[in-house]
Homo-oligomer: A and B are copies of this chain.
Amino acid sequence: MFEKYFSTRILSTPSSFIREILKVTQKPEIISFAGGLPNPVSFPQEELKVSMNRIAEKFGDKIYQYSTTMGLDSLREFIVERYKKLWSMDIDINNVIITTGSQQALDLMGKVFLNENDKVLVEKPSYLGLLQAFCLYKANFVQTKLNDDGLDIDELKNTIKTHKPKLAYLIPNFQNPTGLTYSAQNRKEVFEVIKDEDLILIQDDPYGELRFEQSERLPYIGLNQSDKNIYLGSFSKIVTPGMRLGYIIANKEIIRMIETAKQASDLHSNIFGQYLIADYLQNNDLDKHIEKIKKLYKTQSSAMVEAMKTYFPKNIKFTIPKGGMFSWATLEQGKSSVDLFNCAIKKNVAFVPGDPFYVKEKNVNTLRLNYTNADCATIKEGIKRLSEAMSEV
């Protein structure tokens, strides 16, 4: 009865697909590879309990009062120091704004940059949360092929020439949904293609810290070579997602616009959580904590890969993750992962069919598998059940 009141943007935004999936997968008998939940071991619960009592003593009513839109100085300072150390970035706290999770960073990118029908270059497939966020700003998406080592350079050149996108949104490390990582060489080639274009490059990096297969970190695309680079980061996968704390690093002129947009969106992010995480980071060794997470995820990833090698029918392809939280499987051409989902759910195993990661394609033959939120025996059993479903569809 309210349809005539709703905005065209909300009526054209997809949502029910994933929501329905998550509803189904919450039944206790289901082994779910559908979510994107970090393993609870990645939450330093004891240390956070110490920190929350300490900030209550130390800062009193400040942890409960209104605060600034830009975010807590000490938390932004930590981010500045970390990115200086890791990437020699020439930034200060006025290049950093705290967001209510990375998802809000996506919403703010839409608010600040997108006019209706503006072209946005995204990977094919891309993160569904981005597609959903930008859909609300009526973005015109152009998807560019993602190969095992990064973007397909020829297709990228063509896409840019044909469409002249205003924004590009890329996830170079352990991409969601595919788990793929751009090679050092591919990063250089991508930057060569885009560097002289009128293009803002957003690099979303929630998983970069979770590289468990080799120690070398790969630099961002065009690192320290472009004022049109925007970096998104998050504490969700390395400390806690429940606090909803992410951040944006960008040129100060851009940050000032984002600040205006954020002020109108939620005034500021939860300040208690900002004090809490800042205190935790100041009093603990984050890298040591991350090592623990990586060790576990490597074990879980290996369990899934081994089980897929053992049980999957031979015509099923899948990525072997070097970090992050996901693998990505491809069925035989012509098969639909939605059909597979409907069969798998009867066998009490779930995943996310590929459809919501594409802009146009429906009934695709790809699917996302998360391995971080189940123990190895459960992962093995889940993949076994999924394999049975695969041979029936």
A residues with a Cβ closer than 8 A to B are 1-2, 4-10, 13, 15, 19, 35-38, 40, 43, 45, 48-49, 52-53, 56, 60-61, 63-67, 100-101, 103-104, 106-107, 111-116, 118, 129, 132-133, 135-137, 166, 198, 200, 227-228, 236, 240-244, 251, 253-254, 257, 259-261, 263-273
Contacts and interface: CB of A to CB of B under 8 A. Distances in A.
Complex A-B, nearest 3 residue pairs according to Cβ-Cβ distance, in ascending order: A40-B61, A64-B240, A15-B260
A48 to B, nearest CB: 7
A268 B52 CA distance: 21
18 contacts: A2-B254, A2-B257, A4-B198, A5-B113, A7-B137, A9-B115, A15-B259, A15-B263, A19-B263, A38-B66, A43-B65, A64-B240, A64-B243, A100-B100, A107-B264, A136-B261, A244-B267, A266-B266
A375 B126 CA distance: 54
Contacts of A265: 103-104, 107, 133, 265
A55 B202 CA distance: 37
A261 to B, nearest CB: 6
Contacts of A114: 7
| Number of identical protomers | 2
Contact of A6 (B63, B112, B137, B244): B112
A268 to B, nearest CB: 7
B251 A272 contact: no
Contacts of A52: 52-53, 56
Contact of A244 (B118, B259, B266): B266
Contacts of A272: 240, 242-243, 272-273
A228 B268 CA distance: 29
A132 B7 contact: no
A253 to B, nearest CB: 5
Nearest to A11: B257
A266 B5 contact: no
B136 A264 contact: yes
Nearest to A61: B40
A115 B8 contact: yes
Nearest to A272: B242
